[in-house]
Structure 1
Amino acid sequence: MKKVFTLFFLILCSFIANNAIAQREYQSAKFNTVKETNFFAISENVKKVLLEEKSKAVTPFEKKSIEKEIKQFGRWQYYWKNFVNPDGSLPTHCIDLDLLHLKPNSPIPSLQSESSVLNAKNWTQIGPTVRVDAHGYTAYPGMGRVNVVRKLGTTTYIAGAPEGGIWKTTDNGANWVAKTDAIALLGISDIRVNPNDPMKMYAVTGDRHKNSSLSIGIIKSLDGGETWSTTSLVLTPELNKATSNLGIKPNNPDYMIAVMQQNVYYTTDAWSTYTKGTSIDGGLDVLYTNDFILISDSYGNIFRSTDNGANFVQIYSNNEGSGDIALRFNPTVIGDDVYFLAGKKNGPILYKASITQINAATEANKLVATKVGATIPDFNPQGVFCVVLAINPTDINKILAFGVDGYYSTNGAATWAKKLDAYNSTTSGETYVHPDYHFAEFMDNNTVLVGHDGGVSLVNINAQPFGHTDITGNMIIGQIYHAAIYNSDLNNENLLLGMQDNDGYSKSPTTKSGNWVAVSAGDGTAAGINHRDPLIRFMGGVHGALHRTKTAYLASYTDQTEVIAPNESTAPFICEVIIHDQNPNHVFAGHGELKYSKDAGLTFQDVGQELKVGPTDEVDQYADRIAVIGKNGQKLAKYDTVAGTFSNVTDIVKPTDVTVNFNSVCLASSNNKIIYASIPGLDAANKVFKSIDNGLTWTNITFDLPNVVVNKVLNQVTGTATFEEIIYVATNVGVFGLIRETENSKKWIKIGKLLPNVMVNDLDINYAALKMYAATYGRGLWELDVNYSVNSTGINDNKISEDQFQLYPNPSSENQSIQIGLPKDVYEAKYNLYNYVGGNLKSGNLTKSENIVSMDGIVPGLYLLSLEVNNIKYCKKVVVQ
């Protein structure tokens, strides 16, 4: 087939002139050097090119390669879609440094919180805390991507993740501790240790790969990685800007250099001061020797400086064939030679050049590097995403080259063998570690330390097949798209997570003794658990794929059936699945159009024309209302669970002066006409809105919410606390809440303590345990107790206690009525009966004499009975057996 153009270096540079492909222009767009780049235009046109290339794929390698490229581009789209401006342009600045409490030459602060009832409690990390049980999965998922890992001592390592920050272990990876949770949303592309003083180390914030991380410059530690501080170089984070590796001069480690936000920054005093140097578009890798500095870019060029970074000249250009070329240096000079790998797909070549040649090269008389050995077969670098070179410093014949897989040569690159096999280890007999490598370094003649999309590993190249020891331990850096809970749980017995690049994780007391297990998904996306039967679960894949299990994956990681096929042409990259809050036989799923099921997810069908809104990635349902947000519109309808039909379809109107569709919508439980919604982007004045007429008009309730990106809006069901209602938003720096006890409440509060400052993609509430769950993009799954027993003034003014309401019988049997005994001086009360997904099943009034609540039609399970007396609400749990 024709060469498949690599994902992150494609754009249709002229949307008019025959749709000509110009990868240089797309690469410039990727690194945000084209000021007018339009996110929507890139998305549409690159998708067309990738689908065309997919149609030409013939061999298994070609098909797998284009599949991964489509996925990489989808991830890029998904991450940035909530940042873009209404016109599709990417904003230059994307987060306020004041929000992270950062300033130059200062300690990175602890996690901040205001004094409020909403943040009096601590968030708790609930895992998974170690790599999940493979459950029969040969290519099992890991914990998450690691960009760099350095060995500090016999049993001590330090590592950096693209989201999740810096981690340290002192016991060979059994236990890792997060060191930078206050800036966890910032990536770490490289960490370097002062060779003369191992207590001093420096890290480049950001990501040299797919640019879904933000950089604030260079940070440092003077105590072996225990605590970190900013340096003099503190940058304002900018969207879509890559960072390079960090170069450090061997004979004077106070001299350092890196490329950040397209600019070279260098120091001669360990970042006490710095100088901003020249611009190098797409700066990728850095090699600092005692003679010169080399910086490679992602176009196949090498730039040299002989004055410690003050000036650079381009001395090399790899112009062999078409396509982008990721040049990665071997981390050290071998003898008198510099080695580098030109990581072209299907044609990667190892090169070397002597120090003398490099010093002699000029812009006019460029370096002619020597090819070393043979081309590596079936090598896939995914652009610049995964290209790594490691040469044994004591035996140059032993060479490792990494892309999606790992390749080894014992004869100086004359021949190569795939020894770390990401997808076919069962047939090849070679070793599985994890796809996509980002770091490698020889520890000794036989042991190589690697960082990859599953974590950290030690590889023994002296064994056949290669030996593999995973030392990721409890480094909790999972990037979650969606999470699902079982609302009758009290102790997190049932959970389901959709993970970027690490499939799905499932937890059920009936499977593997309640341990987390792997679920086949590729990129796990949508997640849902039936709230009557937790064995029934839904796990999504990319582009709308949806699988259903009826056993909670009892047999294996593939114990599921595809119920919706993916469609790369029409479905969003990430979709969600929603299970009806009152009747779980009805299931709704995003796709090219909304799909729905009336048989508990066994089969799905498209909605009628009146409810079609195009590619649908946001759905919410409560009681008889359902809201659908798609590319072409946003609509509200009523849904009848008896007939399985939609009616009363109306458009959800955009707020005044808002030109984009909502990115999240929440149908409030307090009133069947109230809707909360959020819009994407970084317009500080327009983020969260409320409608009291089902989306016809809107009130802006952004108030004092910081200028964050809002990913999801959720309300806590009325009657489960003494507040009238609480609205939560998941943002790129955690979770914020607004108490709507009165219309005069206008203060947003950062919710809870100890949650890292990291992107939160999904929120849910378990009403049985009154806990909220936050699915983070880089720090796993967290829970918070949201059983607030005080009002917005912080004073508990309830005159009676919940214990004074007597329920009999409780537990009751199916269809058995319950008698409610009111407290001594209470003569009437209002009641609402909720299931544990917030569905309002019954409501009415009670008196001393008329105090029976009929449970006809209420299936066995756990329920909440909300009782209101004098505008104060009390909750009792009801068990139906």
Structure 2
Amino acid sequence: MQKEDASPDEIRALFEAHWEGRERIKGSGYKQVERWLHLMDGRTDNQGQVLTSEHTIDAHRQIEQWRTEGRSLEGNWQVCGPTLDDITTRDNIRGVGRMNALAFHPVNPSIIFAGAPAGGLWRSYDGGANWETNTDDFPTLGVSAIAFAPADPAIIYIGTGDRDASDSPGMGVMKSLDSGLTWEFANIGISEYVVGDLAVHPANTDQVVAATSNGIFKTTDGGGTWYQVSNNTQNYKDIAVHPTNPDIIYCTGQGRFWRSEDAGEDWDYINDGIVPSTRMVIAVTPAAPENVYVLSAGTYEYRAFYKSEDSGLNFVEMSDSPNILGWSASGDSDGGQAWYDLALEADPLVVDRVYAGGIRMKRSDDAGATWMDVQDSYLHVDQHALVANPHTDEVWLANDGGIYRYEDNIQWQDMSHGIVTGEIYKIGQSPFDGNHAMNGYQDNGTYLFNGVQWSRGSGGDGFECIYDPNDPDWFFSRSQYG
């Protein structure tokens, strides 16, 4: 799906051949591929190829041109939701939409930024209690990476595109010089790529390393130009920087671990004690700066957890079971969705305490040797990003339902108030009352709207929504299972 020149028809043929004669079980990844193929309908050119970012940018420029000519494009639209507010609460709905990324202002604890795969960039000025966005006019609404420049936090870089499911096209990096009020592209050399992660040098605001869908890239002029520093064009998704030595950077791509000692100019493939897989994620901690933790997975299931105590030169396998990425709390289920949901964070205070996200959330207090399930009924499934808040040391999470924080590292709290990122498949409107509607959402089921408040109708993925044309008491919805 993330191969640059693959057409949806080619992917569908391979997908159907792979699944022929197999049972389509929960957590197998089948749903996510079907979702992507559905998304690509109407997004291809006459040759069946997915439209490039240049097509999107050209269309965006045309819209801006029409606006300057005074053409009315906006209509009389207002946001209805669903979102968490004073009327619609967690008692009414259980998820506002998928989120991909989180970043905390390095100085001001009140400022937090979050990125959605198809809903733009969101920001909070009150520690995550409320959220707002000013990026609806971005030519791509996928945000998978956010990085404040530590030396000047008014400078922010974001990586565009959807790292985990290709819901939005990648257009390289965008940059703000005014704390996120305005944005410009800073993407020469990477304008066609999804950017899955970013690392800004702590002392140099112009020096940035990017993990992209086509290799590792670096800029030394603040994004004016980017040059490739990896010796291949694999799909890289995760970066971590040594907590006390910014010249040492770690990166993973297509299930392999890479290490740089010169601020990202040159990279060494590390395989001492660590076995290649399909996908890996990395975590480091200021509590033990030389430690590096790596969670390794196949396309679906858990493979192994590794620990290094010498800044990523050598690794020791800590465990290869149970399957912490599956549906089961105990880890006794098969499969998982590691290609789609995989996240890792190390506790900033407690050495060897790590948090791992797959379908469920897990925690280990012994560097991955043993695991406990910390997924409660309150927390949405399918985890995409884990970040430790540098001001409170609490772990925050971006998943298919929104933004959560691990309050006092004991219980999960939904922090999605005001976020509107639900991805709608179908809408139904009552023929008896135009203020009543029913929507089917990716990842978040079917919600009903009575003109004032939202409520949950059914779970799973919501699809077709229909009101009975003759009886106002009857309405129908479908999930991904029919």
Structure 2 Cα separation of the partners of residues 356 and 409 of structure 1: 20
Task: Measure the CA separation in 1 of the matches of 2:284 and 2:77.
Answer: 40
Q: Distance in 2 between matches of 1:412 and 1:309?
A: 27
The aligned residue for residue 25 of structure 1 is none
The structural deviation recorded for 1:396 is 1.4
Helix, strand or coil for the counterpart of 1:246?
strand
- The amino acid that maps onto 1:452 is N
Contact 2:358–2:383 (CA<8 Å) still a contact in 1? yes
Rounded Cα–Cα distance in structure 1 between residues aligned with 2:347 and 2:104:
16
Q: Is the counterpart of residue 252 in structure 1 residue 204 in structure 2?
A: yes
Counterpart mapping for 1:682-761 below 5 A: none
Secondary structure, in 3 states, of the residue corresponding to 2:463?
Answer: coil
Equivalent residues of 2:291, 2:312 under 8 A apart: no
SS at match of 2:466: strand
* CA displacement at 1:469 relative to structure 2: 1.6
In the alignment, which residue of structure 2 is the partner of 1:325? Answer: 278
Query: Which residue is 1:483 aligned to?
Result: 427
Unaligned runs of 5+ in 1: 1-29, 56-62, 103-108, 359-367, 421-429, 546-881
Partner residue of 1:459 out of 379, 391, 406: 406
Amino acid paired to 1:192: A
Partners of 1:338 and 1:355 lie apart in 2 by 8
Question: Per-residue deviation at 1:343?
Answer: 2.9
Question: How much has 1:178 moved relative to structure 2?
Answer: 1.0
Residue 273 of structure 1 deviates from its aligned partner by: 3.6
Structure 1 segment 334-413 matched on structure 2, within 5 A: 334-344=288-298, 345-355=300-310, 358=313, 368-373=314-319, 375-380=321-326, 382-413=337-368
User: 1:148 corresponds to which residue?
Assistant: 101
Structure 2 counterpart of 1:525, from 455, 463, 480? 463
Asked whether the 8 Å contact 2:149–2:201 carries over to 1, the reply is no
Deviations 1:663-704 (A, max 9, x none): xxxxxxxxxxxxxxxxxxxxxxxxxxxxxxxxxxxxxxxxxx
How many residue pairs get aligned? The number is 462
Indicate if the aligned counterparts of 2:159 and 2:194 stay in contact, CA closer than 8 A: no
Deviations 1:580-623 (A, max 9, x none): xxxxxxxxxxxxxxxxxxxxxxxxxxxxxxxxxxxxxxxxxxxx
Contact preservation (8 Å) 2:345, 2:356: yes
Over residues 189-229 of structure 1, what are the superposed CA-to-partner deviations in whole Å (9 max), with x where a residue is unaligned? 11011122222211111121111211222111222222222
SS where residue 414 of structure 1 aligns?
A: coil
Cα pair 1:447 1:460 within 8 Å, conserved? yes
SS at match of 1:47: helix
* TM-superposition CA deviations, 1:753-798 (whole Å, max 9, x none): xxxxxxxxxxxxxxxxxxxxxxxxxxxxxxxxxxxxxxxxxxxxxx
4+ residue segments displaced more than 6 Å:
none
Separation (CA, whole Å) in 1 of partners of 2:116 and 2:303: 26
Amino acid at match of 2:196: S
The CA distance in 1 between the partners of 2:228 and 2:393, in whole Å, is 41
Quick check: 1:64 aligned with 2:36?
A: no
Residue of structure 1 in register with 2:11 after alignment: 42
Q: Aligned-pair distance for 1:268?
A: 1.6
> SS of 1:124's equivalent?
coil
Given that 2:394 and 2:407 are in contact with CA atoms closer than 8 Å, whether structure 1 keeps it comes out as: yes
Distance apart, 1:234 and its partner CA: 7.3
Amino acid at match of 2:480: V
Shift of 1:497: 0.3
Corresponding residue number in structure 1 for 2:220: 268
Alignment partner, residue 122 of structure 1: 76
* Shift of residue 340, structure 1, vs aligned partner: 1.4
Question: Which amino acid is 1:396 matched to?
Answer: V
Greater radius of gyration (CA): 1
Picking from 535, 538, 545, the partner of 2:476 is: 538
Per the TM alignment, residue 135 of structure 1 is displaced from its structure 2 partner at its CA by 6.2
Aligned residue type for 2:292: V
Q: Secondary structure at the match of 2:387?
A: strand
Q: Cα–Cα, structure 1 residues 337 and 479, in superposed 2: closer, same or farther, change >3 Å?
A: same
In the alignment, which of 34, 42, 48 is matched to residue 74 of structure 1? Answer: 34
Residues 431, 467 of structure 2: 8 Å contact kept: no
Q: Is the 8 A contact 1:218 1:234 kept in 2?
A: no
The equivalent position to 1:168 in structure 2, one of 117, 123, 130, is 123
Q: Would the alpha carbon gap of residues 419 and 272 (structure 1) be closer, same or farther in structure 2, given more than 3 Å must change? A: same
Pick the aligned partner of 1:291 from 241, 247, 251.
Answer: 247
- CA RMSD, aligned part only? 3.1
In the alignment, does 2:458 pair up with 1:516?
no
Distance 2:405 2:311 in 1: 35
Matched, 1:98 2:54: no
SS of 1:498's partner is: strand
C-alpha distance 410-356 of structure 1, shift in aligned 2 (>3 A): closer
On the 8 A contact 1:31/1:242 being kept in 2, the answer is: no
| Alignment correspondent of 1:415 | 370
Contact conserved, 1:242 with 1:282, CA < 8 A, in 2? Answer: no
Q: Is the 8 A contact 1:394 1:445 kept in 2?
A: no
Aligned match for 1:219, one of 174, 192, 201: 174
CA distance in 1, matches of 2:462, 2:21: 25
Change (3 A) 1:507 1:535: farther
- Determine the structure 2 residue equivalent to 1:879: none
Alignment of 1:547-566 (within 5 A): none
SS in 1 for 2:137: helix
- Partner of 2:173, secondary structure, is strand
Percent identical pairs in the alignment equals 25
Separation in 2 of the partners of 1:183 and 1:317? 43
Preserved contact between residue 113 and residue 119 of structure 1 (Cα < 8 Å): no
CA contact (8 A) 1:398 1:411 kept: yes
Shift of residue 446, structure 1, vs aligned partner? 6.3
Task: Specify the SS of the correspondent of 1:162.
Answer: coil
Amino acid of the structure 2 residue aligned with 1:249:
H
User: Given that residues 142 and 453 in structure 1 are in contact (C-alpha distance below 8 angstroms), is that contact kept between their aligned partners in structure 2?
Assistant: yes
Amino acid aligned to 2:450: S
Aligned 8 A contact 1:262 1:283 in 2: yes
Which residues of structure 2 form unaligned runs of 5+?
Answer: 327-335
TM-score (norm 2): 0.85
Return the alpha-carbon distance in structure 2 between the equivalents of residues 533 and 113 of structure 1: 47
- Contact map agreement 1:38 1:89 (CA 8 A) in 2: yes
The one-character-per-residue Cα deviations of 1:50-94 (angstroms, maximum 9, x if unpaired) are 353327xxxxxxx4323xx11111111111232235564445556
TM-score calculated relative to the size of structure 1 = 0.49
Contact 1:287 1:331 in 2 (8 A): yes
Equivalent residues of 1:346, 1:376 under 8 A apart: no
